[in-house]
Amino acid sequence: MTAPQPPDFRSPKFLHAHIRQTMAFYEPVATDPGGGMYHFFLDDGTVYDERTRHLVSATRFVVTHAILLQTTGEQRYYDGMEHALKFLRTAFLDAATGGYAWLIDWHGGHATVLDATRHCYGMAFVMLAYARAHEAGMPEARQWLAEAFETAEQRFWQPAQGLYADEATRDWALSDYRGQNANMHACEAMISAFRATGERRYIERAEQLAQGICQRQAALSGGWVWEHFRADWSVDWDYNRHDRTNIFRPWGYQVGHQTEWAKLLLQLDALAPADWHLPCARFLFDAALDKGWDAVHGGIVYGMAPDGSICDDGRYHWVQAESMAAAAVLAVRTGEQRYWDWYDRIWAYCWQHFVDHEHGAWFRILDGHNRNHTREKSNAGKVDYHNMGACYDVLLALGAQRAA
């Protein structure tokens, strides 16, 4: 596949068009008239599993439709957002407990729970979905957001540590595992919740989560954000060390999570400034790109071991997308050209290797030589939320969210 001539990646016109073009991959095939969206797609858009539905995909489809609604104002995206929300609340939500199933089988208009584990990571995306839906013009989503927040506070919040626990059984018995990833996405959700509602409790919680992970916990692991912790929030250096298949709890320093935190810190700073946000964002981004950018083959690697060596040189779509967005937010915030240079470099790499110029959307994962070994364009959790969201975050930083 030969990529077309690179456009002006900083142009709001290009960013708006790319969001629409990415969503166009899903629009003809994703909606299940019997409920919700399909979650599993091959490179050409073929749905390869019509029944399995994952909480993360279900919530992210709400967010992507909200993004299209906010950038275009077109009614069909409101309808898609409403369709996705209805499915989230009828198929995944256990109204008696406030919990959401992690994985279900949807068949004949009926949901069979395949995995009832309560994940704070999933709850973070539930809150994000409601926040973005409310911001995009759905008033009733504000109450749903408040209900999900109260459930997270009651079931996952650990006041002594100022962070959320990670996982519980169906009846809310907590496991001993603690993770930064759920707290990072909870911070993302709280930022969006404050934007949508103006309620101080959300932005105050976002600040507390950011401090807890990026300052206190990062201080235990050399200043970088480590992923895994024990029940007392001591660092667990060995969790999933030999399991490279767990996409939600990978071992190692996740290079993309350093840059994603950099982006979130500056989005937080725009709403609730604090002296530590910018220096920390600079440090995380600069260190991540210094260690993680492959100067030979291009792109940002996935994982680094505690000794600084590369433990996974795969290229994941979300790592590139979040890093590109972080570079733009840093460029706008600081006025420094080097961050725009990084933005352009990352985008040029993605344009060449990740954007599927034939069928649409982005490829999910490439190897260290930029080869695609799978026909799966989107499996559980992807739905191109990260790359559409990254474009939206850049537009937000430029003050150009709505298409001209």
Model pTM?
A: 0.97
In the chain, what are the domain boundaries? 117-251
From first to last of the 404 residues of the chain, give the pLDDT tens digit.
688 999 999 999 999 999 999 999 999 999 999 999 999 999 999 999 999 999 999 999 999 999 999 999 999 999 999 999 999 999 999 999 999 999 999 999 999 999 999 999 999 999 999 999 999 999 999 999 999 999 999 999 999 999 999 999 999 999 999 999 999 999 999 999 999 999 999 999 999 999 999 999 999 999 999 999 999 999 999 999 988 778 778 999 999 999 999 999 999 999 999 999 999 999 999 999 999 999 999 999 999 999 999 999 999 999 999 999 999 999 999 999 999 999 999 999 999 999 999 999 999 999 999 999 999 999 999 999 999 999 999 999 999 888 86
Q: What is the pLDDT of residue 264?
A: 98
Q: Which class is domain 117-251?
A: mainly alpha
In this structure, are residues 12 and 400 in contact, taking their beta carbons and an 8 Å threshold? yes
Active site residues: 257, 386
Question: DSSP assignment, residue 216?
Answer: I
Summarised one tens digit per residue, pLDDT across range 282-317 is 999 999 999 999 999 999 999 999 999 999 999 999
The alpha carbon of residue 186 and the mean position of all alpha carbons in its chain are separated, in whole angstroms, by: 10
Dig out the tokens for 360 from the structure: 């649409």
Helix/strand number for the chain, H first, E second: 12, 19
* CA-CA-CA-CA torsion sign (231, 234, 235, 238): negative
pLDDT in tens, 344-383: 999 999 999 999 999 999 999 999 999 999 999 999 999 9
Parallel, antiparallel, or unpaired for β 303-304 and 253-254?
Answer: antiparallel
3-state SS, residue 335: coil
Instruction: Note whether 251 and 240 are within 8 A (CB).
Output: yes
